Chains A and B, each alone.
Chain A
Amino acid sequence: MSAEAEQQQTRSEVLAKGALAVGSVYGALAVGPYVRRALGASMGGDVGILNFALTLEYLEAKFYEEAKTRAKPSGELKSLVDLIADDEQQHVEALAATVKQLGGKPVMEPKFDFPYSGTTGFLKLAQVFEDTGVSAYNGAAPMIKSKEVLAAAGGIVQVEARHAAAIRLQTGAEPAPDAFDPPLDEKQVLKAVEPFLA
């Protein structure tokens, strides 16, 4: 066993042992995915995690940019769409710059296809994307090695959570449905966004 694999195993054991503690906070249901993700550890370090986040931000940035005209937002919603579109674009730029800074290569922007029509359809999809974004960061962040990258990711996820709440206010859904935002692992997130990759 390589030193790296050995280290990974130790980490996995620690994570598995600690799962009970997480369960107490999230509720037992959340433990499964958390441990699976931890054991999988397929993200490829901080660059991998940042590129994963970058893909999600590409999706959101494109989605909101397109929505400016396609979703026909007006009044309060128009301001919200403009604000979120701008935030997501800033996240894209910051993540791409950070990947480069860490010596990595930023992933290319995928082609997206968002099947919705009208303002209602837009809001429904927006809610899914924002909630998924929050849970994706919450799931990936504990795997981040650099404290600086972690703190920065935290600054982004809080903004995603604020977007999620604001979009939910627009749809009439509970803005903060649970006391704990559940983490999602990489596979769960990819499954959630796959239908929108063209």
Chain B
Amino acid sequence: MAEIKDLAGPQSRRRFLAVGGGSAGLAAFLAACGDDSGTTMTTDSMGSGGAGETAQFGKGDVGILNYALTLEYLETAFYADVVKSGLFKGADLETIRKFGQEEAEHVQALTQAVKQLGGKPAPQPKAEFPLKNAKSVLELAATVENLGAAAYLGQAANIKSPEVLASALAIHSVEGRHAAVLNTLLGESITPDGAFAKPADVKTVLKSVEPFIVG
């Protein structure tokens, strides 16, 4: 574990940055973890706060898992409401049902993981979603899934435990699959960020989901 901790330290990161700063190729590659600033790699690019970014949800990996759990709770509630809304039928309804089931499995897995790390799982937020018509619901679903995928990506490098990281990655790519399907249904690009998906930081993600949390 010490080995992993050391590598995660700010010093080794700075050293890497000093070495790596000069390459256009690497910069382009690593823009994947950058924000909108594009090609320059900064310490901000991977969530500058490190694990501290999710401190409100708990310490270290527990905080990251609880942050993810909160998002998965929202996704699960959203899909459940959409299924109940009666706005979808046939294949689209089955897709939504399936995605909802998978988000519920994520909730279970994350809850269990938090407990296994000795933490207290984040409470289920009370949520309300605007469900006006099929198109606006699909748009919201796409927004939520693309954001969810970006949220996991934003935290991957902050995770200390390789086991937690492996689990988060197994969820992350499924969120990416969901996002691609919803983008396809909307006639939008499956890869809106291009060949390298971009991460989202905690602040951005929470601000985006805030309107749906009530009470």
Q: Which residues of A line the B interface, CB within 8 A?
A: 7, 10-11, 14-15, 18-22, 24-26, 34, 38, 80, 83, 86-88, 90-91, 93-98, 100-101, 134, 137-139, 141-143, 145-148, 150-152, 154-166, 169, 174-176, 178-183
Contact = CB atoms under 8 A, between A and B. Distances in A.
B171 interface: yes
A175 B180 contact: yes
Interface stretch (B80-88, B122-130, B190-198): B190-198
A93 B23 CA distance: 13
B190 A162 contact: yes
Contacts of A83: 189-191
B13 A147 contact: yes
A150 B33 CA distance: 9
Contacts of A134: 173
Contact of B170 (A14, A98, A150, A183): A183
Interface of B: 1, 3, 7-8, 13, 16-17, 20, 23-26, 28-30, 32-33, 41, 45-46, 95, 98-99, 101-103, 105-106, 109, 112-113, 116-117, 149, 152-153, 156-157, 161-167, 169-174, 176-181, 183-184, 189-191, 193-199
Given A87-B194, A147-B7, 10 more contacts: A25-B167, A98-B26, A101-B23, A151-B33, A161-B172, A165-B181, A175-B177, A176-B177, A176-B178, A181-B177
Interface of A is mostly: helix
Nearest to A157: B173
A155 B109 contact: no
A156 B32 contact: yes
Contacts of B7: 145-147
A151 B102 contact: no
A67 B174 CA distance: 26
Contacts of B28: 94, 97
